[in-house]
Structure 1
Amino acid sequence: MLFHVRMDVNIPHDLPAAEAAEIIARERAYSQELQRSGKWRHIWRIAGQYANYSVFEVKDNAELHEILSGLPLFRFMDIEATPLLRHPSAVRDDDS
């Protein structure tokens, strides 16, 4: 299943800088591992915001939830996920 996911990050201003940096480093490693595995297919930063739009390809809702809740920044995020399916007018065969 494909999902379009918007993630808005809201790190508290009073979080110690060293702690924030450590969490961000873990987030980067985790997200890059998921990208290499093919589960996190696309990620785009939203200009001017600490937010992104991403596309995930996972088995089901439960797997997406497991991945998202495993994000080190999860407790600081507002997340909106939308399931996607192929449009009948799509011309590319490689986007399932």
Structure 2
Amino acid sequence: MQRNRSKRYRAAAQQVDRAKAYSLPEAVSTLKKFPPTKFDQTVTVSFRLGVDPKQSDQMVRGTCPLPHGSGKQVRVLVFAEGESAQAAREAGAEF
């Protein structure tokens, strides 16, 4: 069954060749040509790394920092009095 798509979606879909594998700079430039959206859009990226995850020496694991963090601010609360409270404030406790 055919889905009804908006004019923006159809205009963006015409700019992409779905059978072609794009390089990263080429894909980013193509994305920037898309018409703007009315909401905060996201982009999903898939990479073919050519590794066998069943081999222990080829497993891909790691983390990468996001440019604006994870969005949550960490706050430290300490229940203490006297010297312990002062030491906690010097260590970075906010409350």
User: TM-score normalized by structure 1?
Assistant: 0.34
> Which is strand-richer, 1 or 2?
1
User: TM-score normalized by structure 2?
Assistant: 0.34
The structure with more radius of gyration: 2
Choose between structure 1 and 2 for higher RCO, CA contacts under 8 A separated by at least 6 residues. 1
